[in-house]
Amino acid sequence: MKNIRNPLILFVFMILSQNSFAQNAIPEPTQWVSAPYRLFRTQNMWAFLELETATGRIWQVHYDINGNNRGQVTLNSRNLAEGRDVIQGRFTLHPTQNINTFILHDQIDGRTWQVQWSNNSRDRLIIPIGE
């Protein structure tokens, strides 16, 4: 009976652990992949990135509960699809392990950019990867 109890205890512990992790995670909202604009969550609870999916233009969007720090700042104003097909859903963002860094990906031709968002304007940037 002792040999059966140990695996059973381990199994129950694993199930309880998974449930506690799942309760802490905030699910990503379902988004229309080919929508003209999409919001991407950052690891900062007050900041999102808004992407124009046809051109690769990006804005940093802030909200707050007091109203003092709401607004948008431009991260990328350049049309990255210029001279190419402008198609909704062409561009998407991928988070990285760095809280302030995303990868912008052109899903049609594979081009990529490092996108750095920040509350400090000097630290915001978008630079091509591999061009």
Per-residue pLDDT, 120: 92
Task: List C-alpha distances in Å: 56 to 23, 31, 39, 43.
Answer: 34, 17, 13, 21
Number of CB atoms found within 10 A of residue 63's CB: 12
pLDDT in tens, 58-109: 999 999 888 788 899 999 999 999 999 999 999 999 999 999 999 999 999 9
Residues 6-14 have a mean pLDDT of 58
Q: Integer distance in angstroms from the first to the last C-alpha of the chain?
A: 64
Residues 33-37 have a mean pLDDT of 87
Q: Which of 16-20, 36-40, 124-128 has the lowest mean pLDDT?
A: 16-20
Over the chain, what is the mean pLDDT? 85
Number of CB atoms found within 10 A of residue 56's CB: 24
The pLDDT of residue 111 is above 70: yes
Per-residue pLDDT, 22: 47
